[in-house]
Amino acid sequence: MAPLEANAAACQFETLTVPSTMGPVTVQVQWANAGGDAALYLLDGLRASDLASGWSNTSAPCTFQNDDVTVVMPVGGHGSWYVDWAHPPAADGRPWHWEMFLTDELPTFLSRYGISRHRNAVVGVSMGASAALMLAAYHREQFLSATALSGYLDWHSPGGSSTVQSIIAVAGLDPQLLSPLDGLQWDRMDPYSFAPRLHGLPMHIYAAQGAPNTTESSEDPLATLGAMAIESLAYSSTLRFQQRLESLGIAADYVLPRTGTHSWSHWSDALVAARPFILHSLQGD
């Protein structure tokens, strides 16, 4: 494993335009330093921008710049949960086929650059956390590991699915366009429900209890309170998901600190801490 030397100023992301049934999708990449064929997919959160991946605004991806792995950051997917929607949610009428894009169209495109369709790891934050587990659960031939940071991982408890549907609505989208509210897609997306599919998959799962650090509590008290509350919700659901996995005899790495809010600064630190796990999983041993 290469020494950890992050230099955000020297870190370069190339912007690619990838053809898709959804229309052209922007993807930011940091190529493997020695031309290796492994890739790390980094998924965004609920407020994913159409301009750049939230990850590209942190220094965390740069910590992989000396590693022989290509960092892949899809741009967009605001509120999508990275699944295939039954109906187009936007006024332009374009379909949303995010799962198809991430597991078929994008790896096919990257294969032209020598990136393997089978030596990949996936990391997601918040909305992207449950999506990372879902993609790895249903596409084991593609993803060798999954890392979930501050995700809502138990939709099975009373009110769980309705909470996710409310979050989608808060993002300005109609959850019924994703799937009828009584449809099977909601169980298919729920980590608690698809947990049996995770047997043998290396997983790194992070959620904090929501306590802010000194800098956060003094910067913007109202924003900090919101980030504390959301992270506490993620933490509680993660504990229930942990119990679910343990009841099934499924192992995972857990990082459950007291300090940490629902924010990019903590996710950036969490990705850096997960780096050894991710690189080891890509070795396939």
Q: What is the pLDDT of residue 284?
A: 67
Q: What is the pLDDT of residue 222?
A: 84
Catalytic annotation present for 5: no
The pLDDT of 48-60, averaged and rounded, is 95
Reported confidence tier of residue 226, pLDDT bands at 50, 70, 90: very high
Catalytic annotation present for 262: yes
Contacts of 256 (CB under 8 A, 6+ apart): 206, 207, 208, 209, 235, 238, 239
Catalytic annotation present for 126: yes
The catalytically annotated residue of 99, 161, 216, 262 is 262
169 torsion bin: left (phi>0), alpha (psi -120 to 50), beta (else): alpha
> Model confidence over 155-171: pLDDT tens digits?
988 888 888 999 999 99
**Angle at Cα 83 formed by Cα 126 and Cα 149, nearest 5°?**
20
Rounded to two decimals, the pTM is 0.94
The pLDDT of 130-145, averaged and rounded, is 98
Walk me through the domains of the chain, giving residue ranges and CATH numbers: 14-282 (3.40.50.1820)
The catalytically annotated residue of 20, 126, 237, 263 is 126
Find the range with the poorest average confidence among 127-141, 177-191, 261-275: 177-191
> Model confidence over 238-280: pLDDT tens digits?
999 999 999 999 999 999 999 999 999 999 999 999 999 999 9
Find the range with the poorest average confidence among 38-52, 129-143, 176-190: 176-190
The pLDDT of 57-69, averaged and rounded, is 94
The catalytically annotated residue of 231, 237, 266, 281 is 231
User: What percentage of the chain exceeds 90 in pLDDT?
Assistant: 84
